[in-house]
Structure 1
Amino acid sequence: MLKHTLAAVAATLSMAGSVFAQTDLPFALDWKFEGPAAPYFVAIDNGHFEAADLSVEISAGQGSLDAIPKVATGAFPVGFADINSLIKFLDQNPGAPVTAVMMVYDKPPFAIIGRKSLGVEVPKDLEGRVLGAPPPDGAWAQFPAFAIANDLDVDAITVEPVGFPTREPMLAEGNVAAVTGFSFSSYLNLVRLGVPEEDISTILMADYGLALYGNAIIVNTDFAEANPEVITGFLGAIAAGWKDAIADPASAIESLIERNPAADAELEQRRLELSIDANVATEYALANGMGGIDADRMAKSLEQIAQTYEFQNAPDASLYFTDAYLPDADARMLK
């Protein structure tokens, strides 16, 4: 009897020790709790963060740039943001303690979403029409390079600054002919507003000359340098969450709906699947594991950024991305 009691006490102490050993890690997303955010909640619900001794609290964001200052100031140790915006931020704030450590959107979802009935199907169709663009939008930030790649006469395009909440409604009502946005978000938002799918055109910038990368996991470098094992564990759990979501999108959306009960489960599952197929499970990521980048492609993307952005300092890819915290490739394979 005493032996069983001592064993029970030891087990209780062991469990308590594991709980107390968990590191609290607030994680700042780029946007709302929609389909592409589901894998991060899967990483919680399927125990991947817990297995890495992490207690992760996920916060919604307000755009592709939103998490960058949050992480740079140390308000959040980790976040999710557009790497192109991060590049410009670091150029304007040399030495800021923030960098990308894991590429998630290997093929970025930057897109022009138009309506065929309003005459927009290919890039050149934007000339002579009104384009709605939220100023903080990650896709809008890449538009100048997209315009150069497609030889667009930007003076012939009327740009209407719009807010995120009014972007798709304005397009649905015909007040603009197209909008900038993320392919999987704007497309399905229009569907939800009753725009026929056959009337929607998705002009993915990556299919029209842009070598840019998309959103990545970013870290506060001071925190990462002091806690490298925490970051590596976190990234391994992120990869596991995406792998689970790819294998069972419907189950992943259940995790999302727990955090956002007002969401349309069917719509968000489609949004998740669109992001998987077009942005995450790319040929490169499937072959090499998610998270890494190709040096030649990064160099080309910096050249494209420099076409429309005047660097204050010589661009240096090592300042914007490091693979030092990535777990082994086997731990990052998506299938």
Structure 2
Amino acid sequence: MRNLLAATIVTMLLVGPAAAGNLAIKFTTDWKIQGIHGWFYLARDKGYFAEEGLDVTIDQGEGSAATVTRVMSGAYDAGFGDMNAIVQNAATNPEQAPVMVYQIYNQPPFSILAKADGPVKKASDLNGLTVGAPPGSAVTKLFPALASKAGIDLATVEIIHVQPNIQEQMLLRGNVDASLVFNVTSYLNLIGLGLDPDRDFRFIGYGESGLDIYSNGVMVSRDLHDNHPEAVAGLVRAINRAVMEVIADPSLGAAAVKAEEPLLDAALEAKRLDFALSRLIDSPETRELGVGAVDMARLARTIGVLQEIEGFETAPEAAAIFDAAFLPPLEDRRR
């Protein structure tokens, strides 16, 4: 007993002060825990954040656009959310808008979900129809931008606000003709309902319909960015380390979220990760620039599209939206 007490005291002396000195960071995801959040929990559980001198608390989110609001309010220091929402806020409130520092989704997950045997085969087929849309979600906020690119007359479309957890059911029951969804979420929701999303449904991506934009990544508050750059660099290094491990073995990400939320189906979450890796993360651009980076010219075009739709008087510069200074070396971000 005396030896055990002595060992405990030694451990506290060696570990305690370092842990106590770690910088506390509150991090919010974009939605309830899913396989696509596996790298964040893996980085925490394997001690990657702690190795960078960070004490990171991870909370579930309320929508990828809402992540920006949470960070701007000061309630959170960093989060996983939508770059386009940063652009919209930076145009009107540049001093408080978060900064994206690690882009995860190179391709946007925003999609129109429709039945394969229904009337919607392309985006413009939504004219005159009823569309279910989750309020506050980035996929809903960006729908007007899609409409302008895809030939959708918004005056003819009836938008029904639908909670995200019943979007697929509303479509199945015929309450709406199509739903605005995050494909990486909806695809697995359909499988969870015992349906075949590849055979019975059609995902019409915003990107393939003319809205070539980025989406979710890791953003930080202005305060963290400006006053604690070493913490931002450490946060990005830790997350990138976990991302690359999950890319190599998606089961690691699925296991990490399963450990956090035992009720999750690890096999289903691994499939969600596979879908995200192939549809959202892997692309010719990612293979060239590495995971986490963006093409600044493409980002500038995105800002221009959003300015046209939202009517910004002054558009933010691309460099004010994304800061590549914290990215690890390219060789550490290549698949």
TM-score (norm 2): 0.91
C-alpha distance in 1 between matches for 2:8 and 2:73? 44
C-alpha distance in 1 between matches for 2:271 and 2:121? 22
C-alpha distance in 2 between matches for 1:17 and 1:293? 38
Q: Give the aligned partner of residue 3 of structure 1.
A: none
Structure 1 residues 127, 9: closer, same or farther in 2, change over 3 A?
A: closer
Structure 1 residues 139, 17: closer, same or farther in 2, change over 3 A?
A: same
Q: Give the aligned partner of residue 23 of structure 2.
A: 23
The 5-angstrom pairing of residues 1-335 of structure 1 reads 13-96=13-96, 98-197=98-197, 198-333=199-334, 335=335
2:27/2:76 contact within 8 Å kept: yes
Structure 1 residues 222, 10: closer, same or farther in 2, change over 3 A?
A: same
C-alpha distance in 2 between matches for 1:236 and 1:160? 41
Number of residue equivalences:
329
TM-score (norm 1): 0.91
Structure 1 residues 53, 169: closer, same or farther in 2, change over 3 A?
A: same
**CA deviation after TM superposition for structure 1 residue 22, in Å:** 2.3
User: SS of the counterpart of 2:24?
Assistant: strand
2:89/2:97 contact within 8 Å kept: no
Structure 1 residues 9, 137: closer, same or farther in 2, change over 3 A?
A: closer
1:80/1:217 contact within 8 Å kept: yes
**CA deviation after TM superposition for structure 1 residue 97, in Å:** 5.0
2:66/2:137 contact within 8 Å kept: no
**CA deviation after TM superposition for structure 1 residue 11, in Å:** 7.4
Root-mean-square deviation over aligned CA pairs: 2.2
Structure 1 residues 156, 270: closer, same or farther in 2, change over 3 A?
A: same
Structure 1 residues 60, 9: closer, same or farther in 2, change over 3 A?
A: closer
Structure 1 residues 10, 175: closer, same or farther in 2, change over 3 A?
A: closer
**CA deviation after TM superposition for structure 1 residue 10, in Å:** 7.6
Q: Deviations over 1:144-182 (max 9, x none)?
A: 222222222333322222122322221122211211111
Residue type at the aligned position of 1:228: P
C-alpha distance in 2 between matches for 1:153 and 1:90? 28
1:114/1:200 contact within 8 Å kept: yes
C-alpha distance in 1 between matches for 2:8 and 2:65? 50
**CA deviation after TM superposition for structure 1 residue 230, in Å:** 0.9
Q: Deviations over 1:116-165 (max 9, x none)?
A: 12222322322232111112111122212222222223333222221223
1:138/1:181 contact within 8 Å kept: no
**CA deviation after TM superposition for structure 1 residue 265, in Å:** 1.9
C-alpha distance in 1 between matches for 2:9 and 2:166? 58
User: SS of the counterpart of 1:207?
Assistant: coil
C-alpha distance in 2 between matches for 1:157 and 1:261? 41
2:37/2:253 contact within 8 Å kept: no
Structure 1 residues 59, 177: closer, same or farther in 2, change over 3 A?
A: same
Residue type at the aligned position of 2:69: P
2:19/2:50 contact within 8 Å kept: no
C-alpha distance in 2 between matches for 1:169 and 1:185? 14
C-alpha distance in 2 between matches for 1:8 and 1:186? 48
C-alpha distance in 1 between matches for 2:111 and 2:183? 5
**CA deviation after TM superposition for structure 1 residue 98, in Å:** 2.1
2:113/2:181 contact within 8 Å kept: yes
Residue type at the aligned position of 1:43: A
2:78/2:218 contact within 8 Å kept: yes
**CA deviation after TM superposition for structure 1 residue 253, in Å:** 0.6
2:224/2:231 contact within 8 Å kept: no
**CA deviation after TM superposition for structure 1 residue 9, in Å:** 8.2
Q: Deviations over 1:224-273 (max 9, x none)?
A: 22211111011011111111111111122111011111222222111111
Residue type at the aligned position of 2:302: S
